[in-house]
Amino acid sequence: MSDASASPELGKRTATTNRSLFDYYSRPKFYKALPISLQHLLAMIAGVITPPIIVAGVVDATDAERLLLIQAAVLASGVCTIFHLYGVWKFGARLPAIFGVGFAYVPTLVAVGGGYGIGGILGAQLIGGITMMIVGYFIQYIRHLFPPVVAGTVVLVIGLSLYDVAVKYMAGSGNPTADGFGDLMNWAIGGITLVTVLIASQFGKGVIKLSAIIVGIVVGYLATMLFDAMGLTNLMNFSSIAESRTFALPRVVPFQLEFYTPAIISMVVICVINSVQTIGDLSATSVGGMNRELKTKEMTGGLLGNGLTTALSSFFGALPTSTFSQNVGIVAMTKVISRFVLAIAGVFMILAGLSPKFSAVMTTIPFPVLGGATITVFGMITMTGIQLLTKDEMSARNMTIVGLSLALSMGINQVPASAIEQFPQQLVEVVSGSPIVIAAIVAFVLNIVLPNKSLSDEAREREAIEAAEAAEDSVSHQPGARADSAS
């Protein structure tokens, strides 16, 4: 690592002359930075556009509203990334990390959107962003309340709760009552996309491997066009591209913000949990890319900045923002930490976000293609949760926290509504919409109230029990003890 990397002030002074890819404040030559920037762009683009498409389907958005949601998500992701790279006052992580509209919120967004529409999502998001800033301010004092066993449980439930979304999409739509749902050709397209993603991710090299999801989407898209031309399917509709404008500025408050208590509670919980995930991603970035531990200032700035962008995004129709774990992996693998490299990716996102035609092209991606491409992402989210869990030892205490949180969250989410309708209405609306809320609450409370016993503590308890039993057996076998028993 260069001296500029170790000394921020030196790095700032030499930014114009330092051409290293491996220094945060350097400015490499554009032709060297561009390929790595495109890797980051390809790695994040599917994650950015899919949540607004999913939410648009849930809230029955019109084509124009769906275009607007995608445009706002892409634009917000670019702005958010650059904001965190360069920072403003105490806001911004100032680390080589990509931020944008992410998957972690999707289950909660689906639950809130299904009950309260896009206005309910954005209103709750505003409060959630403010909450995230509060967490960022106090995180150094409460960080111990969110150990890996709590964060991992919630991330695990996030992944598990997304599977039905991907499978429904592979079947043809997010709505099981839609025409053609379950058609074999839908499954064929979804299967082609999924297999392509697997081949690219496991056997590909370089950019192909890093952009496996995009490769799968392209192949699935082309396969759908071929099937449409053969008359086997009728999934492609390009009318929105011709009707959309080439350039358009973002609209302020395109959707009326609405505030509902159950929606706000759900969003606040997921924003707090996402704060824990953000800390994990930023820690992985600093350790994997910069060979040092995450600084408190960077952690606080990252959470404050993410809360600010999440809150402000609600006024422009953009969904909540978070770190992108796949881009953290690129940084850790390549060791390229120049913010100039990542900023190029952010600029490309901003340019794409200013073009409704780009958003219109994204809306033509068929549901089976999205399902086949994203089911692997959802699986990786699940595995990320498991990785977090394994950072803590699997003591009886921790297994109780994980097991009970999973059982209650997934169980309550799957039973008929009549099973919990006798509880207060607001409580029913909060817990029935998303299993993440239940998992977060149960794991958080159990982590506080259960005695913190390690595997060695539990082993000592068993040894004490065995010793006590042995002593009791020894007493019972003494002659005096037998005579007393006989009398």
pLDDT above 70: residue 487: no
pLDDT above 60: residue 329: yes
Q: How far apart (Å, rounded) are the C-alpha atoms in residues 306 and 83?
A: 10
The widest CA-to-CA distance across the chain, in whole angstroms, is 101
Q: How far apart (Å, rounded) are the C-alpha atoms in residues 397 and 230?
A: 58
> What's the pLDDT score for residue 4?
46
Tell me 91's DSSP state.
B
> What's the pLDDT score for residue 172?
87
Phi first, then psi: give them for residue 392, nearest 5 degrees: -100, 150
- Among the residue ranges 58-67, 117-126, 149-158, 249-258, the one predicted with the least confidence is 149-158
Q: Render pLDDT for 189-240 as a digit per residue (tens, 0 to 9).
A: 999 999 998 998 889 887 677 667 778 888 999 999 999 999 998 888 887 7
- C-alpha angle 212-215-220 in degrees, rounded to nearest 5: 125
276 — pLDDT class (breaks 50, 70, 90): confident
> What's the pLDDT score for residue 12?
53
User: Of 97, 152, 104, 155, nearest to 288 (Cα)?
Assistant: 97
Average pLDDT, the chain: 84
Q: Render pLDDT for 102-115 as a digit per residue (tens, 0 to 9).
A: 777 888 898 899 88
- C-alpha angle 367-371-373 in degrees, rounded to nearest 5: 115
Predicted model pTM:
0.72
Task: Pull the structure tokens for residue 65.
Answer: 């509203």
Q: Render pLDDT for 73-87 as a digit per residue (tens, 0 to 9).
A: 999 999 999 999 999
Mean pLDDT, residues 241-250? 84
User: Of 24, 22, 164, 16, nearest to 93 (Cα)?
Assistant: 24
Residue of higher predicted confidence among 94 and 390: 94
32 — pLDDT class (breaks 50, 70, 90): confident
Residue of higher predicted confidence among 396 and 334: 396
Q: Render pLDDT for 149-178 as a digit per residue (tens, 0 to 9).
A: 887 888 788 778 878 878 988 998 767 777
13 — pLDDT class (breaks 50, 70, 90): very low
Contacts of 261 (CB under 8 A, 6+ apart): 426
Mean pLDDT, residues 244-260? 90
Q: Render pLDDT for 410-451 as a digit per residue (tens, 0 to 9).
A: 888 888 777 887 887 667 766 666 687 788 889 989 999 998
Please identify which residue in the block is written with the tokens 């989407």: 217
Q: How far apart (Å, rounded) are the C-alpha atoms in residues 4 and 398?
A: 43
> What's the pLDDT score for residue 1?
43
